[in-house]
Amino acid sequence: MTLNPPATSFRKPVYLDYAATTPVAPQVAAKMAECLTLEGNFANPASRSHLLGWQAEEAVENARAQVAALIGADTREIVWTSGATEANNLALKGAAEHYRTQHKMGGHIVVSAIEHKAVLDPVAWLEEQGFAVTRVQPNSFGVIELDVVQAALRDDTFLVSIMQVNNELGCINDIKAIAALCKSRGIWVHCDAAQSAGKIAVDAKELGVDLLSLSAHKFYGPKGMGALYVRRAGDVKIAAQIHGGGHERNMRSGTLATHQCVGMGEAAEIAQHNLVSDAARIADLRDALWNGISDLPNVQRNGSTTNSVSGILNVAFATDASNGCDGEALLLSLRDLAVSSGSACNSASMSPSYVLKAIGLSDAQAQASLRFSVGRYTTREEIEFAIEHIRSVVAKLKKA
Ligand X SMILES: *Cc1c(COP(=O)(O)O)cnc(C)c1O
In DSSP notation, 103-115 reads HSS--EEEEETTS
Give yes or no: 345 in active site.
yes
Residues in 207-226 at the binding interface with ligand X, rule: CB under 6 A:
215, 217-218, 226
C-alpha–C-alpha distance, residues 332 and 90, integer Å = 38
Residue 266 interacts with ligand X (CB under 6 A)?
no
Residue 84 interacts with ligand X (CB under 6 A)?
yes
Q: Cα-atom radius of gyration of the chain, to the nearest Å?
A: 22
Residue 89 interacts with ligand X (CB under 6 A)?
no
Contact between 312 and 371 (Cβ < 8 Å): yes
CB of 114 to ligand X, least distance (A): 10
List, in sequence order, every beta strand (DSSP E) within 217-366: 226-230, 300-302, 312-316, 337-338
Residue 167 interacts with ligand X (CB under 6 A)?
yes
Nearest to ligand X of 194, 240 (CB atom): 194
CB of 263 to ligand X, least distance (A): 13
What is the three-class DSSP state of 144? coil
CB of 71 to ligand X, least distance (A): 15
Size of the residue set binding ligand X (CB under 6 A): 14
CB atoms within 10 A of CB 268: 28
Contact between 364 and 319 (Cβ < 8 Å): yes
Residue of 43, 110, 118, 238 interacting with ligand X (CB under 6 A): 118
Nearest to ligand X of 219, 317 (CB atom): 219
Tell me the CA distances in angstroms from 4 to 13, 336, 359, 363, one per residue in order: 10, 9, 25, 20
Residue 260 interacts with ligand X (CB under 6 A)?
no
Q: Tell me which amino acid residue 171 is.
A: C
Strand order through the sheet with 108-112: 78-81, 226-230, 211-215, 188-192, 157-161, 108-112, 132-136
Q: Tell me which amino acid residue 262 is.
A: V
Among 177, 167, 230, CA closest to 206: 177
CB of 286 to ligand X, least distance (A): 17
H helices, E strands: number in the chain:
13, 12
Stretch that binds ligand X, among 53-61, 101-109, 192-200, 390-398 (CB under 6 A): 192-200
Nearest to ligand X of 302, 319 (CB atom): 302
CB of 338 to ligand X, least distance (A): 16
Residue 194 interacts with ligand X (CB under 6 A)?
yes
Residue 142 interacts with ligand X (CB under 6 A)?
no
- Spot the catalytic one: 35, 171, 261, 345: 345
Contact between 186 and 91 (Cβ < 8 Å): no
Residue of 66, 195, 367, 373 interacting with ligand X (CB under 6 A): 195
Residue 85 interacts with ligand X (CB under 6 A)?
yes
Residues across the chain: 400
Residue 163 interacts with ligand X (CB under 6 A)?
yes
Nearest to ligand X of 83, 263 (CB atom): 83
Residue 116 interacts with ligand X (CB under 6 A)?
yes
Q: Which residues are catalytic?
A: 345
Using CB under 6 A, list all residues that contact ligand X: 83-85, 116, 118, 163, 167, 192, 194-195, 215, 217-218, 226
